[in-house]
């Protein structure tokens, strides 16, 4: 397993205990360890570099308070900066639009989009909202049926499947049904691909233009490593992301992708997926992810 950042830094500062303030040389040495820890946690390199720069600016010259070691002091600064970057603002779903409010789910295939769509539907149903789920994935034969089954489990509405209908037309019909049948929220689950391709982006952008979503949530597997940067940048530039959902945090992944995606898009992380079951959706608490990233 990975060595925790505290123990790494403990070693770096072993010889220095008792000094008054953190010198630039001490901090530089310590930040080498922080850098390794962040890279091990799958934070993207460009994000690591920028983050380290900010920590350095905060740490150099800081007085080390008596009750802690210099190592603990640096860990605290890193932890605080992680929390500040991950953010606590805007983590709630924005539902303030004329109903039906549209939530557009985007991401790569297998990221957990369909499951997360149903999880969010269930959460909103518990909050007394009337929710309609619609799958725009016309490429994988069973995708639309999969979402219908999950809608049944969550006991929320699902748009009847019309064979041969294309994504933009489905999304228009979903909003129409939503309006006519008094739904509060319509969740559109888009098709994913294994890799980003421009055809996918153009399709999602066309759906966005047709439905004017209030939320466009980028769903990403917590295992995503360096790819998180391209993924976040592409989706944000081409379709405009309003929030991020990180799935499979019930696994071993350290979740560095959360920091990368947040830093690249500036958009809040709204939910964490913590299992296959529909109630395994957690609201985002930055300290939990910060703790995981630091090990």
Binding-site ranges for ligand GDP (CB under 6 A): 107, 109-115, 192, 247-248, 250, 273-276, 280
Q: How far is the CB of 273 from ligand GDP (least distance, A)?
A: 3
Cα 62 to Cα 65: distance, rounded to the nearest angstrom = 9
Beta strands in 86-234 (DSSP E): 101-106, 131-135, 157-158, 185-189, 215-221
Nearer to ligand GDP, 114 or 236 (CB): 114
Task: Give the residue with the Cβ less far from ligand GDP, 64 or 257.
Answer: 257
Cβ-based neighbours of 201, under 8 Å, separated by 6 or more: 234, 235, 238, 239
The angle subtended at Cα 49 by Cα 46 and Cα 50, nearest 5°, is 90
Nearer to ligand GDP, 35 or 193 (CB): 193
Nearer to ligand GDP, 165 or 250 (CB): 250
Annotated binding-site residue? 112? yes
Which stretches of the chain are assigned E, i.e. beta strand?
101-106, 131-135, 157-158, 185-189, 215-221, 243-247, 269-273, 281-283
Closest separation in Å from C-beta 270 to ligand GDP:
14
- Residue nearest to ligand GDP as judged by C-beta position: 273
Axis-axis angle for helices 24-40, 45-59 (nearest 10) = 150
Q: How far is CA 155 from CA 7, 129, 130, 174, in A?
A: 48, 12, 10, 17
Handedness of CA 90, 235, 167, 149 (dihedral sign): negative
Cβ distance to ligand GDP smaller for residue 37 or 293 = 293
190 in a known ligand binding site: yes
Cβ 136 vs Cβ 190: under 8 Å: yes
189 is in an annotated binding site: yes
Q: Minimum Å distance from CB 71 to ligand GDP?
A: 34
Closest approach of ligand GDP to the CB of residue 292, in Å: 14
- The answer to whether 67 is a known ligand-binding residue is no
Whether the CB-CB separation of 246 and 254 falls below 8 Å is answered with no
Contact 183, 156 (CB under 8 A): no
Nearer to ligand GDP, 58 or 140 (CB): 140
Residue 208 marked ligand-binding: no
Residue 69 CB, nearest approach to ligand GDP (Å): 37
DSSP bridge partners of 189: 105, 135
Residue 153 CB, nearest distance to ligand GDP (Å)? 12
250 labeled binding residue: yes
Minimum CB distance to ligand GDP, residue 112 (Å): 3
Q: Which one, 273 or 286, has the nearer CB to ligand GDP?
A: 273
Residue 110 known to bind ligand: yes
Question: Across-strand partners of 283?
Answer: 271
19 is in an annotated binding site: no
Binding residues: 107-114, 189-193, 247-250
Binding residues for GTP: 107-114, 189-193, 247-250
């Amino acid at each position: 397993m990975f060595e925790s950042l505290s123990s790494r830094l403990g070693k770096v500062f072993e010889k220095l205990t008792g000094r008054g303030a953190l010198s630039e040389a001490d901090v530089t040495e310590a930040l080498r360890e922080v850098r390794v820890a962040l890279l091990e946690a799958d934070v993207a390199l460009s994000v690591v570099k920028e983050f380290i720069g900010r920590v350095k600016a905060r740490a150099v010259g800081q007085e080390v308070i008596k009750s802690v070691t210099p190592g603990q002091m640096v860990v605290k600064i890193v932890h605080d900066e992680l929390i500040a970057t991950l953010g606590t603002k805007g983590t709630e779903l924005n539902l303030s639009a004329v109903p039906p409010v549209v939530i557009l789910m985007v991401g790569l295939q297998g990221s957990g989009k369909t499951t997360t769509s149903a999880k969010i539907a269930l959460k909103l149903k518990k909050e007394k909202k009337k929710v309609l789920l619609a799958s725009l994935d016309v490429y994988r034969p069973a995708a639309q049926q999969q979402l219908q089954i999950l809608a049944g489990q969550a006991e929320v509405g699902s748009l009847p499947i019309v064979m041969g209908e294309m994504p933009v037309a489905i999304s228009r019909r979903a909003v129409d049904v939503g309006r006519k049948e008094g739904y509060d929220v319509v969740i559109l689950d888009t098709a994913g691909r294994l890799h980003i391709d421009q055809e996918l982006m153009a399709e999602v952008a066309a759906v966005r233009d047709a439905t004017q979503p209030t939320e466009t949530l980028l769903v990403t597997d917590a295992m995503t490593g360096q790819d998180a940067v391209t993924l976040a940048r592409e989706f944000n530039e081409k379709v405009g992301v309003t929030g991020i959902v990180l799935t499979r945090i019930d696994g071993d992944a350290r979740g560095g992708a959360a920091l990368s995606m947040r830093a690249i898009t500036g958009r809040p992380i709204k939910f964490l997926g913590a299992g296959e079951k529909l109630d395994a959706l957690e609201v985002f608490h930055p300290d939990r992810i910060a703790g995981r990233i630091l090990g």
